[in-house]
Amino acid sequence: MPTTTPTVPSIDLPAALASVSPALDELARGHWPSYRVHDDWRTELDRALPEAGAGADETLRVLAETVAPHGAPFLAPGFSGWIVGAPTAVPIAAGLVTAVGGQQRYLGFSGNVLEEVALRWVADLCGLPSGLPGVLSSGGSVANLLALAAARQRAYERLGQDPSREGLHALPPGRVYASEELHHCFLKAAGALGLGRSAVRLLPTDGRQRLDVGALHRALAADVAAGEVPVAVVGIAGTTNTGAIDPLDGIADAATEYDVWYHIDGAYGLFGVLDPDVAPRFAGLSRADSWVVDMHKWLAVPTGTGATYVRDSAYLGRALTQEPSDYIEGAFANAGVPGGSPWDQIGTPYQEWSLELSAAARGIAVWATLHEVGRDGVRQRVVGHNTLAQHLAERIRHEPALELLHEPELSVCCFRVRGNDDRDADARTDRVLRALHSDGVHVPSGTRVGGRFAIRACFVNPRQTTADADALVDAVVSVALSE
C-alpha cells in the first residue's frame, strides 16, 4: 500500500522555465570554463527510484543547480572535437516548442507542415535537385541507413526478390563501396540490413583522403565478375576525419557504368557547397540517387535531426513500409470521408519512409534556424568556419613544433606535434591531446591521417572565432614545449 499521496506534476511552465533559465543561459552562451566531469555531483543524481516524488520545486532546483551546470560543454567555443551541433537561442527555443506542441508528425499541425518546409528549404540550400522527396530522422547514422535500405531494395528487386518482405535468403551477397574514410555508421547499417558489415568495401584514398576512383572501378569489376551484387556506391561530401570531399563526378561515372545506386553522405559537409571557393569540388552532386545531410551538425539545431533525400521514394517506401494498420489508416470507420478531424490531414506519410512512427516534429527547429538567419546567414557561417580551419593551418605552418597533416577543404584541420620519428610524433601528439582534455578548455579530438596520429579540430559552432583557433594553437604549443 502506498504510504504517501502521489505528487501531482506541475503545469506551471513559466515558473519551470524561469527556474532553469539562468543555468541554461550560461551553457548556451558557451561560458563553460571547462568540460571536465567531476564525480562529486553524480551522487545527487544517481539515487534509488523515489517512492514519493520530490515535487516540482525541488526537481527544478536539481535541474538548475546540478544537471544543467554539468551538461555537455559542446556549446563552448573551445570545444572543436566531434561534429556536434551547437544551437543558439532560436533553435533552442524551437526545440522547446517541439517538446510542447510538435510531437507526432502524423497530424495536420504546424510541426507537420514545417517538416515539409524544412526538407524543401534544406534541399534548396544545398543545391539538391528540386522536388526531391525526403524524410527527417535522428541523424546521420539512421539517415544513411534509410538510404542504404532503398539502395538494397533496388538492387535485389532487380533480381526478382523483395528483400524487405522476403529477406535475403538464397540471394548473392551484396556489396557497398566507399573510401576507407567512410563513417562507420555504414558498417552498422549494412549489418542491420542483413548485408553484413563485411559487405562494405573500404577502398583506398588518394593523397588528399579522397576515394581513389580507379580502385572503385576495379572493385566493381571484380565483384560483378564474381557474381556479387553491387548495392550502392557511396561518395562522401565532407569526411568526418579531415573534411575531404570525394570526387563526386568521377564516382557518378562509375555508378552509371555499373548501374549501381549512388549515395552521397553529406551528413557533415553538404552545407559546404555554400562556400563559393569550395562549391566547384561538389561537381556531380546532383547525379546521386540519394543524399544525407545532418542539420544537427553545421546547421546547429539541437541534436537529433538529419535528412535523407531519395530521388525515387518508391524504393524507400517498399523498403520501409509498415503496411496499413487499424490504428492509423483504419482509425475511422469511414476513412476518407471529411469529418473535421486533424486525422483527415495526414500529410506525407513519413512513417512509410522511415524506421519511426512516433517522432518529434524535427522540422520546427530547422525551419526556425533558417527563418532566423536565411541562406546568407548559413553561407556566412560556413565560409567563416572554413576560413577558421585555413587560419589554423596557416598558424601551424609557422609553428616549428607542429606539422600540418592535410590542407583543409572544409572546416576541419588536422595536425600533429613533431617528433624524432613517426612513433615519437604519435606519442607526443597523444600526450598533448590528453593534457588538453584534462585541462578542458580547448578540446579538439584525435584521429589518424595517413596512419599518423593527429589532433583534429572541427569548427561548426556559430560562437567560434579566430581567437579560438589561435588559442588552440597557443595551448598546443605551450604544452608541447613544456614537455
Ligand X SMILES: Cc1ncc(COP(=O)(O)O)c(C=O)c1O
Q: Which is nearer to ligand X, 139 or 163 (CB)?
A: 139
Stretch near ligand X under the rule CB under 6 A, chosen from 133-141, 193-201, 328-336, 363-371 = 133-141
Residue 229, C-alpha cell as written in the block: 551484387
Question: Residue with the closest Cβ to ligand X?
Answer: 140
Residue 263 Cβ, how far from ligand X at the closest point, in Å? 11
Q: Which is nearer to ligand X, 142 or 417 (CB)?
A: 142
Residues 170-199 that bind ligand X (CB under 6 A): 183, 185
Q: Which is nearer to ligand X, 136 or 417 (CB)?
A: 136
Q: Which is nearer to ligand X, 106 or 291 (CB)?
A: 291
Q: Which is nearer to ligand X, 185 or 273 (CB)?
A: 185
Residue 296 Cβ, how far from ligand X at the closest point, in Å? 6
Q: How far is CA 321 from CA 13, 258, 329, in A?
A: 38, 28, 13
- The β-bridge partners of 209 are none
Q: Which is nearer to ligand X, 307 or 479 (CB)?
A: 307
Number of residues lying near ligand X (CB under 6 A): 13
Residues 24-83 that bind ligand X (CB under 6 A): 83
Spatial CA neighbour of 24 closest among 65, 82, 58, 83:
65
CA distance 99 to 362: 10
Q: Are 378 and 370 in contact (CB under 8 A)?
A: yes
- Residue 139 in contact with ligand X, rule: CB under 6 A: yes
Q: How far is CA 203 from CA 30, 266, 285, 411, 448, in A?
A: 39, 18, 20, 24, 16
Q: Which is nearer to ligand X, 141 or 354 (CB)?
A: 141
Binding mask 236-265 vs ligand X (x if CB under 6 A, - otherwise)?
----x------------------------x
Q: Which is nearer to ligand X, 98 or 144 (CB)?
A: 144
Residue 413 Cβ, how far from ligand X at the closest point, in Å? 15
Q: Which is nearer to ligand X, 75 or 432 (CB)?
A: 75
Residue 277, C-alpha cell as written in the block: 571557393
CA–chain centroid gap for 262, Å, is 19
Residue 251 Cβ, how far from ligand X at the closest point, in Å? 15
Q: Which is nearer to ligand X, 182 or 455 (CB)?
A: 182
CA distance 137 to 457: 27
CA distance 412 to 454: 12
CA distance 295 to 301: 6
Cβ atoms < 10 Å from Cβ of 19 = 17
Spatial CA neighbour of 294 closest among 181, 136, 187, 445:
136
Q: Which is nearer to ligand X, 399 or 409 (CB)?
A: 409
Roughly how many angstroms between the first and final C-alpha of the chain, as a whole number? Answer: 64
Residue 372, C-alpha cell as written in the block: 532566423
Amino acid at 262: Y
For residue 138, report the phi and psi dihedrals to the nearest 5 degrees.
-75, -10
How does DSSP classify residue 452?
E
> Using CB under 6 A, which of 78, 306, 408, 462 touches ligand X?
306
- Residue 140 in contact with ligand X, rule: CB under 6 A: yes
CA–chain centroid gap for 378, Å, is 17
Residues 368-407 that bind ligand X (CB under 6 A): none
Q: Which is nearer to ligand X, 267 or 479 (CB)?
A: 267
Residues 141-160 that bind ligand X (CB under 6 A): 141, 144
Residue 189 Cβ, how far from ligand X at the closest point, in Å? 10
For residue 62, report the phi and psi dihedrals to the nearest 5 degrees.
-65, -40
- Residue 308 in contact with ligand X, rule: CB under 6 A: no
Stretch near ligand X under the rule CB under 6 A, chosen from 46-54, 60-68, 138-146, 160-168 = 138-146
For residue 415, report the phi and psi dihedrals to the nearest 5 degrees.
-150, 170
Residue 271 Cβ, how far from ligand X at the closest point, in Å? 12
Residue 458 Cβ, how far from ligand X at the closest point, in Å? 9
Q: Are 116 and 265 in contact (CB under 8 A)?
A: no
How does DSSP classify residue 49?
P
Residue 128 Cβ, how far from ligand X at the closest point, in Å? 16
Residue 291 Cβ, how far from ligand X at the closest point, in Å? 12
CA distance 1 to 460: 54
Residue 111, C-alpha cell as written in the block: 510541426
Residue 325 Cβ, how far from ligand X at the closest point, in Å? 28
Residue 366 Cβ, how far from ligand X at the closest point, in Å? 14
> Using CB under 6 A, which of 145, 213, 244, 267 touches ligand X?
267
Judged by the rule CB under 6 A, the positions of this chain that interact with ligand X are: 83, 139-141, 144, 183, 185, 240, 265, 267-268, 294, 306
